[in-house]
Amino acid sequence: MSKKELRFNSKTIHGGQSPDKAYGAVMPPIYQTSTFAQSTPGGHQGFEYSRSANPTRTALENSLASIENGNYGLAFGSGLAAMDAVIKLLDPGDEVISTNDLYGGSYRIFKKIFEKYGIVFHFVGMQDVGKIAAQINKNTKLIWVETPTNPMMNVIDIKAVSQLAKKHNILFAVDNTFATPYLQQPLDMGADIVMHSATKYLGGHSDVVLGALVVKDKELADRLYFIQNASGAVCGPMDSFLVLRGIKTLHVRMQRHCENGKAVAEFLAKHPKIEKVYWPGFTDHPNHLVAKDQMSDFGGMISFVPKGADYHTAIKIVERLQLFTLAESLGGVESLAGHPASMTHASIPKEEREKSGVVDALIRLSVGIEDVEDLIEDLRQAIEE
């Protein structure tokens, strides 16, 4: 059976991989080298300088392309470096329409780095696709979607946005960090670019920072590859190896993240001291039907607000947690808790933040793959103490 025909769980392990040419190593060696010997100028074996390409990074890039059902993968030094490469496709005067509640660092690179180069960003609530349509003009060159959104867990209809983007000939990128290709495959739903903070679920063990892009189209891949090589924000061989190893267990980890996420979301929703729980698996979540249609399960990311929406109560809860670690990031095997207003989303001005629901009492959980009873006991003692 050719590797193209493999199902998802097999692709995470075998997709785009073959034993190493030198000694048949099953895992690609960590080619810790900056350069490669040439017999004559240009006489090399496919690799000449590790910014341009490195065999360990290539193995990862092939795996990324495979699991996202794309044709080309590109790996970068971080998720933000991957986003940086996408925005560099644009010219001064071009406009971007983006999700209004998105990762704070994504907002920051758009507003604080690229706006001064003349690129214009519009942030809209994309649950209503009509709001995107209303912002489109002749300068609109990119629609940037995060779904589910960080941290409000809004779900955006990828197929509907794709139709709109195609109609107006606009490039359409999806940040698939929260869902991962285990839950949704945006390229198959019409996106042109999938982006990942592979630091999160793809790496899966909170031990590496890395970013990724995957595309189907050769011309787009060539333009992105040119930027990757010319700007140079590549990841090193060791980090490539770690993410490649992480991807091999993505499917089993995600299955448990989803199971534990559901149990924790249901526990919180029933708890009298909790006011609101944001998780797309609830039938009363405003975008539940879209989530059900485009995702195969609902993931392990949950946000919630304690009763009274009081900032101090929220801070006490995150301080009392013992098994959940209070830390930036998400998607690792261990459960993490975060306070978006002061941590991941502090770079978004308070008025902007609060418009999309990121209030000072909001707590975000990345539910890990520990025994779920232990996680629930930890939350119970932190909420009830």
Ligand X SMILES: Cc1ncc(COP(=O)(O)O)c(C=O)c1O
User: What is the set of active-site residues?
Assistant: 51, 103, 175, 200
Region from 72-80, 231-239, 335-343, 348-356 binding ligand X, contact rule CB under 6 A = 72-80
CA distances from 27 to 152, 188, 241, 273, 369 (A): 38, 28, 9, 49, 25
| Tokens 């590549």, residue located | 234
- The verdict on 151 binding ligand X (CB under 6 A) reads no
> Smallest distance, Å, CB 124 to ligand X?
17
Q: Which residue from 173, 119, 115 is spatially nearest to 142, judged by alpha carbons? A: 173
- The verdict on 175 binding ligand X (CB under 6 A) reads yes
Strands annotated E in the chain: 72-76, 95-99, 120-124, 140-146, 171-175, 193-197, 211-215, 274-278, 301-306, 325-326, 336-338, 363-366
- Our CB check for ligand X shows the closer of 175 and 360 to be 175
Quick one: which of 54, 58, 62, 199 contacts ligand X (CB under 6 A)?
Answer: 199
> Smallest distance, Å, CB 151 to ligand X?
9
Contact 360, 341 (CB under 8 A): yes
Question: Nearest-CB residue to ligand X?
Answer: 79
> Smallest distance, Å, CB 231 to ligand X?
15
CA distances from 138 to 96, 158, 293 (A): 11, 22, 31
> Smallest distance, Å, CB 177 to ligand X?
4
| Backbone angles phi and psi of 172, in degrees to 5 | -130, 115
Which residues between 233 and 272 bind ligand X (CB under 6 A)? none
- The verdict on 197 binding ligand X (CB under 6 A) reads yes
Tell me how far the alpha carbon of residue 338 is from its chain's centroid.
17
Region from 74-82, 221-229, 286-294, 363-371 binding ligand X, contact rule CB under 6 A = 74-82
- Our CB check for ligand X shows the closer of 267 and 279 to be 279
Question: CB neighbours of 259 closer than 8 A, spacing ≥ 6?
Answer: 372
- The verdict on 54 binding ligand X (CB under 6 A) reads no
Question: CB neighbours of 319 closer than 8 A, spacing ≥ 6?
Answer: 326
> Smallest distance, Å, CB 150 to ligand X?
4
> Smallest distance, Å, CB 201 to ligand X?
10
Contact 73, 213 (CB under 8 A): yes
> Smallest distance, Å, CB 321 to ligand X?
20
- The verdict on 150 binding ligand X (CB under 6 A) reads yes
Q: CB neighbours (10 Å) of residue 231?
A: 14
- The verdict on 303 binding ligand X (CB under 6 A) reads no
- The verdict on 211 binding ligand X (CB under 6 A) reads yes
Region from 30-38, 42-50, 93-101, 175-183 binding ligand X, contact rule CB under 6 A = 175-183
What is the rounded CA–CA span in Å between residue 76 and residue 290? 31
- Our CB check for ligand X shows the closer of 123 and 267 to be 123
What is the rounded CA–CA span in Å between residue 344 and residue 156? 21
CA distances from 49 to 53, 81, 84, 122 (A): 6, 20, 22, 39
- Our CB check for ligand X shows the closer of 13 and 327 to be 327
Quick one: which of 84, 94, 95, 146 contacts ligand X (CB under 6 A)?
Answer: 146
What is the rounded CA–CA span in Å between residue 72 and residue 78? 18
| Tokens 């490539």, residue located | 240
- Our CB check for ligand X shows the closer of 105 and 181 to be 105
- Our CB check for ligand X shows the closer of 67 and 102 to be 102
Which residues between 75 and 114 bind ligand X (CB under 6 A)? 78-80, 103, 105-106
Number of residues lying near ligand X (CB under 6 A):
15
- How much of the chain is helix, strand and coil, in % rounded to 5? 40, 15, 45
Residues binding ligand X (CB under 6 A):
78-80, 103, 105-106, 146, 150, 175, 177-178, 197, 199, 209, 211
